[in-house]
Amino acid sequence: MTFSKDLTALIPQMRAFARGLCRDMTAAEDLAQDGLLRAWTAQASYRPGTNLKAWVLTIMRNQFYSERRVAWRNVALDQRMAEESLVAISNPSATLELDELRRAMLLLPDEQREAVILVGAAGCSYEEASVMCDCPVGTVKSRASRGRRQLGRILAGVVVPKDALRPSSAMADILAQCERAGALPLAA
């Protein structure tokens, strides 16, 4: 058989493998097509007589993980939508409560605050946060858990000190902390 016929015969397996990796039909189709294209353009590096299926699926796997490593950096944040969706505009006390939460977070140790911001405010997975913090996933989970517990204790019993930031700027400050933590590349 020829390379093109062998590669074409692998398309159903490539699509199934992509669905397993992506868990999203559209992304899986894109990954399978990219894998097919990359295999076709790199066919000169394929050694006949070796396992074509393993070679193609390795190309796809490497492509998937390469894209995942940089994907979190490429997501643009719509600042207006984030501010409107995270702040209850119809509830006047929501702004004050969010500001109190922001100030309470400042009382956390740096590592706990960073974990809470990445996992809670930025919506990163524990795995993504562990990469950003350069520590094991379990450490991020522990820091976030201890930070949330400490925030609960702070908000339940301590008067959180005021600062110079206006309450209406609380969301912008939290988003800026996310950006400094490397979680959200904010659009200009």
Domain ranges of the chain: 3-71, 79-180
Q: What is the DSSP string of the chain?
A: --HHHHHHHTHHHHHHHHHHHHSSHHHHHHHHHHHHHHHHHTGGG--TTS-HHHHHHHHHHHHHHHHHHHHTTSPPB-HHHHHHHHS-TT-HHHHHHHHHHHHHHTTS-HHHHHHHIIIIIS---HHHHHHHHTS-HHHHHHHHHHHHHHHHHHHHH-PPPP-SS-GGGHHHHHHHHHHHTTS--B--
- On the question of a common fold for 3-71 and 79-180, the answer reads no
Q: What is the pTM of this model?
A: 0.46
Per-residue pLDDT reduced to its tens digit, 112-146: 888 888 888 777 888 888 888 888 999 999 999 99
- Check whether domain 3-71 has CATH 3.90.1150.10, yes or no: no
Share of the chain above pLDDT 70, in %: 83
CATH topology of domain 79-180: Arc Repressor Mutant, subunit A (1.10.10)
Cα separation, 26 vs 22, whole angstroms: 9
Name the more confident of 188 and 58.
Answer: 58
| Whole-number pLDDT of residue 177 | 74
Average pLDDT over the chain, rounded to an integer = 81
Categorize the per-residue pLDDT at 162 as very low, low, confident or very high, splitting at 50, 70 and 90.
confident
